[in-house]
Amino acid sequence: MAEILQKVIDEARQGEAYTTLPFEAERNTKKFYIESYGCQMNFSDSEIVASILQGVGFGATGNFEDADLVLLNTCSIREKAEQTVRNRLQTFRKVKDGKPGMLIGMLGCMAERLKAKLLEEEKLVDIVVGPDAYRSLPALIEEAQTGQKMVNVLLSRDETYADIAPVRLDSNGVSAFVSIMRGCNNMCTFCVVPFTRGRERSRDAESIIKECTDLFNAGFREVTLLGQNVDSYEYAGITFAQLLEGVAAISPLLRIRFSTSHPKDITDDVLYTMAKYDNICKYIHLPVQSGNTRILQLMNRTYTREWYINKVKRIREIMPDCGLSTDVIAGFCTETEEEHQDTLSVMELCRYDMAYMFAYSERPGTLAEKRYADDIPEKTKKRRLEEIIALQRKHSTESYGNDIGKVVDVLVEGESKRSADDWCGRNSQNKMVVFPKSNFNPVKGQYVKVKITQSTGATLIGEIIR
C-alpha cells in the first residue's frame, strides 16, 4: 500500500489534474466523494482526508452517485452554514435509498459541535468524525461497513497531520493551500471555532517548507499558508515572520500568501518581512468585526478601534501598495445605532479593497450565547448589514477603479471562468485580473505584465504587455 500511496503522491506532485483519478483504473477499489464547506482550512483538511483514504485503496470520484462513501466536510460558523449541509443531505438520501451499503460521513466543525447527536438528528449519517480524528477514518469506515454507526470527535493537543502529503483536489495546478497550524486559543465570544477546532498548535516548520518546495517543484507557483491566526505561529522558537522568510526563500518565482491575521498579533516583523520579499504578496486580510470599542470588548477581540486604525496605518507606512480586506459582523448583541455607525466610519478610514460581511448569528455553546442576549431584531441586523455592504461596494469600486492605467504582475491561473477568449490570474494585491488571449499562450503558472484598462468592483480588465 505504501507503494501505491507513493505513486499517488508522485503523480500529485507532477501537477496532474487531481480529478484524474489514479485509482479508478484499478479493479475492486471503492470510491469516495467529498464536498467541503466553510473556510479554507476545511478545504485543506479535505485534501488530507483524500490522502488518508487513497492510502487504503479508496479512489476519488467527482460524482456522488458513483460513490461508496460520501463525505461532507462541514462548517458551523453561522446557523445558515449548518442548514446548507442539512439540506444537502436530503439529496444524498435519495441516492442512498437506492444504493444499500453506501456510507455517509460527516466531517469537520459540525461533526465536532454536534457529536453523536448528529447521528440521532440525521438518520442517514453513518460516520461522524471531528477535525483532529481523520487518521481514524479507515478504521471507522471498516466498522461502519458492518452496519455500526461510528463517532470519533476527540480533539488533540498536537495533531497537525504534518507527515501527510495532501492530495490536491480541484486544483488549478498553480495555487495551493498549506496548513501551518490548527485550532484557536482566542476566545472571541461570537465564535464557535475554538470549540470545534480545539487548542492552537503549530506544525513543524521543516515539514511546511518541504511541502512548499515539493509544490514548487511540481509546477505550483503560489502557496497560501493557512491558520485561524497565523501570526501566533510558533514552532521550536521559529516565529511566523521567520517561517514566511523561509518559504519566500524557496524561489523568487513562488508567491506566498497567508490567512488569517489577527489585528492584535500581526507584528512589525511580519510587515517588514513582507516588504523585503517581492514574492510575498502585498495583501493582508485583517478582520475588524466592529468599529466600536465597546462592542470589540464584548466580542473579546482584545483591541480597540484606535489600535486597529493604527495597525492599518502601520501597514500602509511600511507597504503603501498593500491590499487590505476584512470581515465585519453586523448587529452583535446590544449594538446601538451609533455603534453601528462606528463600523461604517472605520470602513471609511480603512478603505478595504474587499470584505466578507455577516449578520451576527448566535452559536450554541459560545461565550456570547452564555453571556449576552441576542437582542438585535433580525430586521435591524439585515438593514445594518445592507448599509455595510453598500458602503463596501462603493469602496471596492473605487479601489478597483484606481488601478486603471497601472501595469500589474499577474500569475496566470488559466482560462477565465466567464469567457473562453480570456485568461485570468491575480495580482499581488489578490485582485482578479482578466485579459484577452489575443494569440498569447502563457503556460499556467507564468507571470505576465498586464495594463489595466477597465474595472468592475471585483475584477480588473486589461491587456497583456509583451
If we measure between CA atoms, which residue out of 268, 200, 270 comes closest to residue 235? 200
- Beta strands 30-36 and 69-74 are parallel
Residues 6 or more apart in contact with residue 237 via CB below 8 angstroms: none
Residue 51 binds which entry of ligand F3S, ligand SAH, ligand SF4, none, CB below 5-8 Å type-dependent = none
If we measure between CA atoms, which residue out of 135, 192, 186, 189 comes closest to residue 158? 135
Beta strands in 153-270 (DSSP E): 175-179, 181-182, 201-202, 222-226, 234-235, 238-239, 255-259
Nearest residue to ligand SAH, scored by beta-carbon proximity: 327
Nearest residue to ligand F3S, scored by beta-carbon proximity: 38
Residue 194 binds which entry of ligand SF4, ligand SAH, ligand F3S, none, CB below 5-8 Å type-dependent = ligand SF4
Residue 260 or 427 having the CB closest to ligand SAH: 260
Q: Record the cell numbers describing residue 388, joined without a space.
A: 455595510
CB 221 within 8 A of CB 155: no
If we measure between CA atoms, which residue out of 259, 338, 331 comes closest to residue 305? 338
Gyration radius of the chain's alpha carbons: 23
CB 170 within 8 A of CB 414: no
Provide the residue type at 390 as one letter: A
Among 161, 240, 308, 358, binds ligand SAH (CB under 6 A): 358
Residue 42 binds which entry of ligand SAH, ligand F3S, ligand SF4, none, CB below 5-8 Å type-dependent = ligand F3S
CB 363 within 8 A of CB 79: yes
Binding track over 368-387 against ligand F3S, x by CB under 6 A: --------------------
Query: How many residues sit in the footprint of ligand F3S (CB under 6 A)?
Result: 13
If we measure between CA atoms, which residue out of 264, 345, 349, 332 comes closest to residue 294? 332
Among 34, 39, 107, 114, binds ligand F3S (CB under 6 A): 39
The CA angle 199-200-203, to the nearest 5 degrees, is 130
CB 241 within 8 A of CB 267: yes
Q: What is residue 229's DSSP assignment? A: T
Binding status of residue 197 toward ligand F3S by CB under 6 A: yes
Residue 182 or 262 having the CB closest to ligand SAH: 262
Among 44, 76, 202, 325, binds ligand F3S (CB under 6 A): 76
Binding status of residue 181 toward ligand SAH by CB under 6 A: no
Residue 200 or 353 having the CB closest to ligand SF4: 200
Least Å distance, CB 340 to ligand SAH, is 15
The residue range among 72-80, 171-179, 294-302, 308-316 that interacts with ligand F3S, by the rule CB under 6 A, is 72-80
If we measure between CA atoms, which residue out of 456, 457, 451, 458 comes closest to residue 436? 451
Least Å distance, CB 77 to ligand F3S, is 4
Residue 229 or 455 having the CB closest to ligand SAH: 229
Binding status of residue 327 toward ligand SAH by CB under 6 A: yes
Residue 358 binds which entry of ligand SF4, ligand SAH, ligand F3S, none, CB below 5-8 Å type-dependent = ligand SAH
Binding track over 147-166 against ligand SAH, x by CB under 6 A: --------------------
Residues 6 or more apart in contact with residue 460 via CB below 8 angstroms: 400, 403, 408, 427, 431, 432, 433, 434, 450, 452, 454
Question: Site residues (CB under 6 A) for ligand SF4?
Answer: 184, 186, 188, 191, 193-194, 228-229, 262
Among 44, 76, 260, 343, binds ligand SAH (CB under 6 A): 260
Chain residues binding ligand SAH by CB under 6 A are: 77-78, 190-191, 193, 228-229, 260, 262, 287, 289, 327, 329, 358, 360-361, 363
Chain residues binding ligand F3S by CB under 6 A are: 38-39, 41-42, 75-77, 108-109, 192-193, 196-197
